[in-house]
Amino acid sequence: MDELQELDSRFAQIRKELADNDLTKFRESFLDLHIYEQGQFYQSITEEERALMYSYLSPKELADMFDLIEEDKETLKEYLSEMRPSYAAQMLASMYTDNAVDFLNLLGKKETNKYLSLMSNEDVAEIRELLHYEDDTAGSIMTTEYVSIVANQTVRSAMYVLKNEADMAETIYYIYVINQEEQLVGVISLRDLIVNEDDTLISEIMSERVIAVHVGDDQVDVAQTFRDYDFLALPVIDYDDRLLGIVTVDDIIDVIDEEATSDYSGLAGVNVEEVSENPVKAATRRLPWLITLLFLGMATATLISKYEVLVSEASILAVFISLITGTAGNAGTQSLAVAVRRLAMNDDKKNNFLTIVVGEVLTGLVTGAITGITIFLIVTVWKGNPTLGFVIGIAMMAAITVANLAGSLIPMLMDRLGFDPAVASGPFITTLSDLTSVLIYFNIASLFMSHFM
């Protein structure tokens, strides 16, 4: 029996214990699961079965599971609505503060205040401290559950603090050193505490070169810092260098997943998370882009109609329209994907605008020239008409160069204007490339009309 079958078998047994109202066996079996597996089980059962779970598990036990649960906004709201308000409030208060804030941000102001009114003043203060930060910033994803010490403590004293606060901290691998003004002045690792003598002063072994992020930094920039330094956690400071919280790697993984999903959605012109939506809802999400692209497509059709006389006089030109527009569209989409990736990695800041433009033009010319020569040879042999091959080849090279440049410059321009560059989606670039390719193709072909008659 493989692991998946074994897990399914365990889930079936736990469901039976739940249905039989066997409290002792259910708790023993359920709590023996890994927290991630607990979440999988919870999401696989019915609302009636979950109602039984709420009576068998404490809010704290459920909170541990909800710290790891990944679901869409509406489903998470449904889960909360199934619970008694006081039970849900206790569960939220028992979660890590940053995760509880993420949960509350899904709700309306009235519902949020309802749950906060049922919590202790201490819990409310911690949650409200994070609620006011703007979305997608370091402040919105940080947690205030960390361990801090002062520089004039000894290792023995620091270990005492660590042991007392470890249970509430989200991570203990890094311990941050602050001064009397709560400014961040150093960092020390758990290993440093373990290997040094008890009487050693923290100031003697701490690292004063601390990599930190500001509370207002964009979460994408924070993720980039994690990637660059391979940290498990990063301190978050205000503009007076006071330590406000930490961002942990598990939250950054969520950010990376969120940003990747956003990029995929933008490149495809559709919400890629709609896989579980009903057909009507999915169609409603897709239609705006499709209708917009339909009008852009109509512009291409109108442009082709302007060259109707040219096509009627040299009908062979119509054979290659889709070939040129399709190839140019593919080139534009490739360039778009690279540009969005470059912006995500902040590589555009390492190069000036002119360098990027020249680079994209050269890339377009090289790929266009090779593709153009290839199609020139194919058309010449196929149709026995070198002039036609030349026209197709030159048009292909020009169309690819323009599409390549557009695919790179449009997301860069959108980024400079403050918009998400991924919104310059693949379908949009492809349709735009169709328009420019047709214009280039027929204008070049019109110069050689006498050779097609």
Last residue of a domain, one of 133, 164, 184: 133
Q: Do 54 and 171 have their domain in common?
A: no
Percent of the chain, pLDDT > 70?
Answer: 88
Q: Does residue 292 share a domain with residue 408?
A: yes
112 with 80, same domain? Answer: yes
pLDDT at position 178 is 94
**Burial annotation 5-39 (CB, 10 A radius, 16+ → b, else e):** eebeebbeebbebbeeeeeeebbebbeebeeebbb
Q: CB count, 10 Å around CB of 226?
A: 22
The answer as to whether 142 is a domain residue is no
Measured between alpha carbons, how far is 378 from 363 in angstroms, rounded to an integer? Answer: 23
- Separation in Å, CA 353 to CA 143, 164, 357, 360, 407: 38, 53, 6, 11, 15
* Tens place of pLDDT per residue across the chain (453 aa): 577 788 888 999 999 999 898 889 999 999 999 988 999 999 999 999 999 999 999 999 999 888 888 766 778 888 998 999 999 999 999 998 888 888 888 888 888 889 999 999 888 888 888 888 888 889 888 988 899 999 999 999 999 999 999 888 888 999 999 999 999 999 999 999 999 999 999 999 999 999 999 999 988 889 889 988 888 899 999 988 999 999 998 888 888 777 666 655 555 555 555 555 567 766 776 677 677 777 777 877 887 888 887 877 778 888 888 899 888 888 888 887 777 777 766 654 555 667 777 888 888 899 999 999 999 999 999 888 898 899 999 999 999 999 888 888 887 877 777 766 655 566 777 778 888 888 999 889 888 876 655
The answer to whether residues 114 and 175 belong to one domain is no
CATH of the domain at 290: 1.10.357.20
Read off the CATH number of the domain in which 163 is found: 3.10.580.10
261 inside domain:
no
Mark whether 12 and 124 lie in a shared domain: yes
Any domain includes 17: yes
d(CA 79, CA 83): 7
For residues 13 and 92, membership in a common domain is answered with yes
Q: Do 283 and 357 have their domain in common?
A: yes
268 in a structural domain:
no
* Same domain as 129, residue 157: no
122 and 47 co-located in one domain: yes
Are residues 347 and 419 in contact, defined by beta-carbon separation less than 8 angstroms?
A: no
Residue 368 in domain: yes
Q: At which of 256, 282, 310 does a domain end?
A: 256
Considering the domain architecture, whether residues 283 and 421 belong to the same structural domain is answered as: yes
pTM score above 0.95: no
Residue 73, in any domain of the structure: yes
Q: Do 327 and 178 share a structural domain?
A: no
Domain of 36, CATH number, reads 1.25.60.10
Number of folded domains that form the chain: 3
Judgement on whether residues 9 and 128 belong to the same structural domain of the protein:
yes
264 in a structural domain? no
Residue 36 lies in a domain: yes
Tell which of 210, 225, 256 closes a domain: 256
**Residues of the domain holding 91:** 3-133
